[in-house]
Structure 1
Amino acid sequence: MEKELATIEKPTILVVDDHEEILDFIADDLSETYDVLKAENGRCAMETLSANPIQLIVSDVMMPEMDGYELCQLIKSDVEHSHIPIILLTAKNTLQSKIKGLEQGADAYIEKPFSPEHLHAQIYSLLTNRNKVREYFASSPLAHIKTMAHTKADEHFLERLNEIIHNNMANIHFDVEHLAELMNMSRPTLYRKIKAISDLTPNDLINVARLKKAAQLLSEGHYKIYQVSDSVGYSSQTHFGRNFHKQFGISPSEYLAQHKP
């Protein structure tokens, strides 16, 4: 099943552990399926994270300088990285330690000693579930952008993003430059965040948001197709119709007919 995920693209996983033998063992085991980066503690992990696009983190809990709990809390509260799933590994098998990890935002918790198969299955599950959520958002006309949020930081980011796009939707010249400026983010940072959370470029996300708004307006049944096309920032109804069909697999006229009372 891991090979199926890897054929799409090889995700990059960051493994964090202060025990060199364990770090090397996990990294070697995962390297057949994933691109693997290593860090010996939380502080080194944050440095690696700032310089590389990471799709998932596997971290030990007990480490010097910055432990796994601190690392998890820091990542999940940082809007630039909050979307990254984190698996915590620990020798502590108490309920209290598990609760603490989940409270810090961990997506999964695995007790040591663990089987490599268990870790592989957990990684695969987290990554494929994220992909399914992205696909659902992009292909479902009325799915809200918040369906892709996995943390409060992600939710706030996506709400703000959605609000700005909707407020500027009628402007056919609205693009990623305007979006980055209004989000108070550099264009590269905004690109990385949007790409990581949605697997879309910022311009693609703007276009999907336009089409979703169009689907909402069409479903209400109060507007003609050309009116909807104009209101979401398309200068050509033909171009709008082509993009709508490509995104949702149905033409605007067919979609309108489906939602007639």
Structure 2
Amino acid sequence: MTSESITTEYSSKPVILLVDDNEEILDFLQDDLEEKYTILKASNGKEALEILNSDLVNLVISDIMMPVMDGYELCRTIKSDFEYSHVLVILLTAKNTIQAKIEGLELGADAYVDKPFSPEYLQAQIANLLSNRNKIIDYFISSPLVHIKSMAINKGDESFLEKLNDSIYKNIENTELDVKQLAETLNMSRPTLYRKIKAISNLTPNELIHIARLKKGAELLAKGNYKIYEISEMVGYSSQTNFGRNFHKQFGMSPSVYVQKLNDKN
């Protein structure tokens, strides 16, 4: 069991998929965004879905009016498909009407930007969406009793995260629990499970298992029914020392200090 604290890392550039049938707009957006983001491009919704099937994308910026598959259909498909329902979507359109905006938001779009738009405004929208996602992830990682489903941005992801959490907890005493066993339990392929966990949490499955063990330990500590050494074994640690070291690295306090803080609140 590692003794390293798990934190999210945002050193690699977030991946943005640009979707528009106008090559000039694609090139303009790419020139404006590629310093901060890794850019992928598609000329319609169908091409965009093919890219989403092969690449881990953080955010899609799509025009609405396109041939083959328009932006509305692309957004609907993204937000209703388990494989990439976590992907953030910004819709761009010249249809500057309230009804057009309502339709896009009802399909699950995370933001709506009118054409012509200010590059600075679009940059701010992108940064805000990604920053909010990262804050949610960091809050989950650093807070002992915050549930994994707090990272979900829609009902589908919430259901997936609850099932994932249940699967980890059912096997939490198993010190060898890994992504292969989790995938079998959830009836998913390992690549699909890995991609989904990484996309939602920016963690690998093994890192998420590590945090889940510590969070279960915090939950048991809060109940006050077991000794620390008992809890260590119950959550898959070979020793109380190892559990205590990992707990302190992850949450900034030892299990005993954590219990004392809980008692002081009551």
TM range (shorter): over 0.9
Q: Is the aligned partner of 1:87 residue 2:90?
A: yes
Q: Is the aligned partner of 1:104 residue 2:119?
A: no
Structure 1: distance between partners of 2:168 and 2:92: 40
Contact 1:221 1:259 (C-alpha < 8 Å) held by counterparts:
no
| More moved, 185-194 vs 111-120 | 185-194
Aligned residues: 256
Offset, 1:139 = 0.3
Structure 1: distance between partners of 2:179 and 2:25: 43
Q: Is the aligned partner of 1:54 residue 2:57?
A: yes
Tell me how large the CA RMSD over aligned residues is. Answer: 1.3
Contact 1:88 1:108 (C-alpha < 8 Å) held by counterparts:
yes
Structure 1: distance between partners of 2:210 and 2:34: 36
Structure 2: distance between partners of 1:9 and 1:136: 20
Deviations, residues 121-157 of structure 1 (Å, cap 9, x unaligned): 0000111111111110000001111110011221111
User: How many percent identity over aligned positions?
Assistant: 64
- Secondary structure, aligned partner of 1:259: helix
Match of 1:186 among 178, 185, 189: 189
Structure 1: distance between partners of 2:105 and 2:10: 31
2:26 counterpart residue number:
23
Contact 1:92 1:111 (C-alpha < 8 Å) held by counterparts:
yes
- Secondary structure, aligned partner of 1:212: helix
Offset, 1:219 = 1.1
Structure 1: distance between partners of 2:107 and 2:121: 22
1:215 counterpart residue number:
218
Q: Which runs of 4+ in 1 moved over 6 A?
A: none
Structure 2: distance between partners of 1:97 and 1:112: 13
Q: Is the aligned partner of 1:254 residue 2:254?
A: no
Structure scoring higher RCO (CA < 8 A, sep ≥ 6) equals 2
Normalised by the size of structure 2, how large is the TM-score?
0.93
Normalised by the size of structure 1, how large is the TM-score?
0.95
| More moved, 131-140 vs 161-170 | 161-170
Q: Is the aligned partner of 1:70 residue 2:73?
A: yes
- Secondary structure, aligned partner of 2:40: strand
Q: Is the aligned partner of 1:130 residue 2:133?
A: yes
Deviations, residues 216-259 of structure 1 (Å, cap 9, x unaligned): 11111121101111111112111111111111011011111222
Q: Is the aligned partner of 1:166 residue 2:161?
A: no
1:3 counterpart residue number:
none
Structure 1: distance between partners of 2:234 and 2:161: 22
1:151 counterpart residue number:
154
Contact 1:54 1:84 (C-alpha < 8 Å) held by counterparts:
yes
Offset, 1:9 = 2.1
Unaligned runs of 5+ in 2: 1-8
Structure 2: distance between partners of 1:78 and 1:231: 36
Unaligned runs of 5+ in 1: 1-5
Structure 2: distance between partners of 1:7 and 1:74: 27
